[in-house]
Amino acid sequence: MIKELLIYPDERILTPCTDVRIFDSKLWDVIENMKDTMEANNLDALSAIQIAIPYNIIVIKHHGIYKEYINPRIIRVDGKMQNIESTPYYPNIEQNIPRHGSISIIYDDRHGNTHTALIDDPWLSGTIQRKIDYLFGGTFLAKLPKAQRDMVIDTLAKGGIVASEEICPLFSPKDYFVSFADKLLILSALSLLAPLTTWGKNHIAAIIMAKNIFLISVVLIMIGFFFFAQWQAKRYKQCTSCQIGNNIGVIVKRFVAVAILGIASYFILG
């Protein structure tokens, strides 16, 4: 039976797979479905997870012959090469991926008998490595430098795949956290002017107390802000202003301000 292929951004591809433990007709059906799907889509290689079956199964068509690798593990590697690769998961994307020229693997056949093989055909070796990445919950993009990975994701996103609800909100409730924290910081800064006044000791002590409470509150608000922002970032994946780096920046700035005010007040207010 021809199955539907997982295509970006379907996150099921990131599911790590389990070993096959029972070698019976169910397994053989999965393998047949994989082959049918490969024929229908004109593919040379497929991992079971690419048709949403989270088991360690790979089928590869090499020189017209189907090879089945169940529970494969790479035991040894040798040599390096740059492999130009594409995969149906990221349609129309080709990338140069670092791979090993030759690998030694151990795997089971469809009856559960274990075999080992030294694979030094560069095409087959590279293909097995790419398919095994899928089994462990990764795609080939994980092997690319971050900048390049972002570029690929960007290109894919511009291809119209981004769903409309993922557009970044212009205003978000998390801004309330920031604005409230900033107000507290300004009030705390004002407290440093207290020695210039002629107020009595008691007044000044109360001001110092309030300032301390404000500073601690800022820290707590920022922790709250962090969790809220994290939760929000999960909802808006494409939103750059929701990204963790920005949020950390916001938090670090306020923490620095708290530290400076704390130190300054120690010296000024005693």
143-175 CB burial, b ≥16 within 10 A, e <16: bbeeeebeebbeebeeeeeeeeeeeeeeebebe
Q: Residue 230 Cβ, how far from another protein at the closest point, in Å?
A: 10
User: CB neighbours of 223 closer than 8 A, spacing ≥ 6?
Assistant: none
Q: Would you give the binding string for another protein spanning residues 19-58, x where CB under 8 A is met?
A: x-xxx------------------------------x----
Q: How far apart are the first and last CA of the chain?
A: 79
| Per CB under 8 A, 80 contacts another protein | yes
Strand-pair category, 114-119 with 65-87: unpaired
Answer whether 132's CB lies under 8 Å from 58's CB.
Answer: yes
Footprint of another protein on 135-154 (CB under 8 A): 136-138, 142-143, 146
Number of chain positions touching another protein (CB under 8 A): 46
Q: Residue 65 Cβ, how far from another protein at the closest point, in Å?
A: 22
Answer whether 34's CB lies under 8 Å from 52's CB.
Answer: no
Residue whose C-alpha is closest to residue 188's, from 225, 221, 228, 226: 221
* The one among 65, 170, 234, 267 contacting another protein by CB under 8 A: 234
Footprint of another protein on 194-213 (CB under 8 A): none
Q: Would you give the binding string for another protein spanning residues 106-135, x where CB under 8 A is met?
A: x-----x-x-xxx----------x------
**Which residues here bind another protein, judged by CB under 8 A?**
11, 14-16, 18-19, 21-23, 54, 71, 73-80, 97-100, 104-106, 112, 114, 116-118, 129, 136-138, 142-143, 146, 223, 226, 234, 245, 248, 251-252, 255
